[in-house]
Structures are given as C-alpha cells and as structure tokens.
Structure 1
Amino acid sequence: MLDQLTQLVKQYGGDAVVNNSAVPNEQNEDVMNEASSSIFSGLQKIASEGGTEQLAGLFQGGAIDSSNPVVKQLTEQLSGNLGQKFGLSTDTSSNVAGSMIPQVLNSLVNKAKDPNDGSFQISDIINSISGNSGQASNIMDTISKYGMQFGLDQNADGRVDVSDVVAVASSKGGFSGLLGKLFGR
C-alpha cells in the first residue's frame, strides 16, 4: 500500500511541494517521500491506538477536510516531520501538509470505494495499516463467510466486506448489532 500511497502523494504533490518556492527543489522528492511515510505511519498509529471509529469515518463518506480528526492528526504529524527533517518553516510545513493530506485521503477513499478501480481495496488498506494482522483478515473472512446468511450485505453488492461492516457498525446497535445479527440475537 505504501507504493500506491506514494503515487497519490506524487500526483497531488505538484502544487504543494514542486511548485512551492518555499520548498527547495532538491528536497522535493524527499519531502514527498516523507509525506507518504508520514501518512502511512499516521494511519497505523491511529489504528494501533484504537481509532477505528475515526478510520471508519473516512470510508463512510464524511468530510475529508481540515475538520476531520484523522486529517488533523496526520497534518500535525507531517507538518512536524517536515519542519524537523527538512528545516522548513512552520508556515511552509503546515501549508504543504494541509493541502496534500485531504487530497491524498480523498483520492485513497474514492479509489477504495470505486468497484471499477482495483488499485485500492478497503480490506487491503485495513490489513496494511493494522500491520497485516491475522486477526483483521480472520474477522473479514468470517464476516464474508457467514455474513450473506444473516443479511449483512448492506450495500447489495453480492458480497460482505468492510464497507458492509462499517455500515452496520455506524447504524443503531453498532458492533453489538452486528454480533447480534451474526449470532441470531
């Protein structure tokens, strides 16, 4: 996923980095690589600290702008890293991070939700940021295996996947409602 994320950063880094006179040209590539790794490690950190609701919020179609808690956290992290590692001013670091993070996350989410675009899958993103833990894939396998029997295909696409889990989790009853459906309660 890091390679795909790096491609998105390069795609959206033109104005924020390359065309930004406050970022020295010889640092452009390094700054964009730092943006990719900061976004990825930031998502991993949010997942490891139990921020599943925040991450799920990204895939539910909510605002992916400066008001989004994930965007705020990633922007602060990247801004700090750019200042520390490349000596960029606070304003420059904040502007680069503040313009790139929402664009990259919007593109990532839109690609993951687009059934015609196989470059990102929500389940792959979750597995990647959760450290490819067996637990994440086991949960996805179990839900896929039994979910159809219990009416968990929330978006009627013929499969039970993370988007269906997110839909159930965000509805009344949350995950307890999901478990209730799975176990007939």
Structure 2
Amino acid sequence: MFKQLTQLVQQYGNDAVVKNNAIPNEQNEAVMNEASSSILSGLQKMVSEGGTEQFASLFSGNNAQDSSNPAVQKLTEQLTGNLGNKFGLSNEVASGVAGSMIPKILGSLIGKAKNPNDSSFEISDLITAISGGSGQNSGIMEAISKYGGQFGLDQNADGKVDMSDAIEAVTKKSGSMGSILGKLFGK
C-alpha cells in the first residue's frame, strides 16, 4: 500500500511542493516522503485510538475529499505540524501544503479502494496496512460494514456487509466484486 500512497503523493505533490517557492528544491522529496508516512501513520493512529468509525466515514460519499471531514482535518493537522517541525516551514506554508494534498490523496486512495474496476488497490490492502494485520481488522470491518452499502458491497441488500455478502459475491463469481469481497473477508 505504501507504494500506491507514495505514487499519489508524487502525483498531487507537484503543485503543492515542487512548484512551491517556499519549499527549497533540495527538500521536495523529503517533504513528499513525510506526507506519505504522515498519512499512513495518521490513519494507523486514528484506528489504534478507537477511531475506526472516523476512518470508515472516509468511505461514505466523497468524505475523503472533504476538508471539513474530521478524519481529513486530523491528518491535515498532523502533516502541518510534521512539516513545520521537521523542515522549519512556517505554519502558513505547511498548512497550505497539507491542506492542498491530503484531501486529494485521500480521495484518490479511497476512490481506488472503492472502485471494483481498479484492481491496483484493494480495500483489504488498506485495512491490512492500517491495522498492521492485527486483530483490529474486525473492528475496522464492522465500521466499514456500516458504510458498505454505500459503495456496493451489500450483495443481498440486507443493510449490512457481512460474511453472507462475501459468500454470495464469491459464489456468483461476479467478476472483480467477488474477488474484492473474497479478499476483504479473507477467502
């Protein structure tokens, strides 16, 4: 997952970092690396501190791109602080970089995870990277199941995403949706 995240940071960091005169050119790569690691560590911290519903809310509609979403705000604030502390950037510059990049990166990351036609990135990859493969997977899945119907994972239209949806999708062999649910539920 870190590779895909880094690619998104490179993609959206060009305007926010490379073309930003307030950031010395020799720091461009380090600033973008910090953005990648801040997003991943921020999501991990959010989940480890009991914020699974906050994380799962990113999967609802376009919440991952909404700068007023509490999860997006938390990650933006974390990156702003890290850029200021590690690179001596003013709060205004660091906030501008973080505010420009975080919503775009999260929106693209979550969009790829939700897209059944994009096999480059799976929801299960995101969950494993964030939880470190720990027992938190079930808590994350419970939270995501609340939002699952909103991005097509509720196969039997019972209002929740659970093993019956995974079994139904895998049994139907409904193309990539079956493979997503199969991977999502460890089948």
1:74 matched residue in structure 2: 75
Is the deviation greater in 116-125 or in 58-67? 58-67
**TM-score normalised over the length of structure 2:** 0.75
Deviations for 1:16-49, whole angstroms, at most 9, x for unmatched residues? Answer: 0000001111000000000000000000000101
Counterpart in 1 of 2:97?
96
Change (3 A) 1:47 1:118: same
Q: Name the SS for the 2:109 alignment partner.
A: helix
Question: Is the 8 Å Cα contact of residues 112 and 122 (structure 1) preserved in structure 2?
Answer: yes
Say how many residue pairs are matched.
158
Deviates more, 1:26-35 or 1:59-68: 59-68
8 Å CA contact 1:82–1:93 kept in 2: the answer is yes
Please name the residue that 1:28 is paired with.
28
The change in CA–CA distance for 1:161 and 1:89 in structure 2 (over 3 A counts) is same
Structure 1: segments with no counterpart, 5+ residues: 166-185
Q: What is the alpha-carbon distance in structure 1 between the residues aligned to residue 121 and residue 180 of structure 2?
A: 17
**CA shift for structure 1 position 148:** 5.2
Counterpart for residue 5 of structure 1: 5
Query: Quick one: distance in 2 between partners of 1:115 and 1:149?
Result: 17
Amino acid at match of 1:78: L
Contact 1:148 1:159 in 2 (8 A): no
Q: Deviations over 1:127-166 (max 9, x none)?
A: 11011125627x97xx875445699xxxx9557849x99x
Q: Retained in 2: the 8 A contact 1:147–1:160?
A: no
Query: Do the aligned residues in 2 keep the contact of 1:42 with 1:74 (CA within 8 Å)?
Result: yes
> What is the distance in 2 between the residues matched to 1:50 and 1:135?
9
Q: How does 1:139-154 map to 2 (within 5 A)?
A: 145-147=163-165
RMSD (CA atoms): 2.9
- Letter of the 2:57 counterpart: G
Contact 2:113 2:123 (C-alpha < 8 Å) held by counterparts: yes
Q: 2:166·2:181 contact (CA, 8 Å) conserved in 1? A: no
Distance 2:178 2:40 in 1: 30
- How do 1:41-52 and structure 2 match up within 5 A? 41-52=41-52
Identity %: 64
SS of the residue corresponding to residue 59 of structure 1 reads coil
Alignment of 1:107-118 (within 5 A): 107-118=108-119
Rg larger in 1 or in 2? Answer: 1
Query: When the two structures are superposed, what TM-score results if normalisation uses the length of structure 1?
Result: 0.75
The whole-number CA distance in structure 1 between the counterparts of 2:39 and 2:59 is 16
**Residues of 2 paired with 1:116 and 1:126: CA distance?**
19
Residues 9 and 32, structure 1, Cα contact 8 Å, conserved in 2: yes
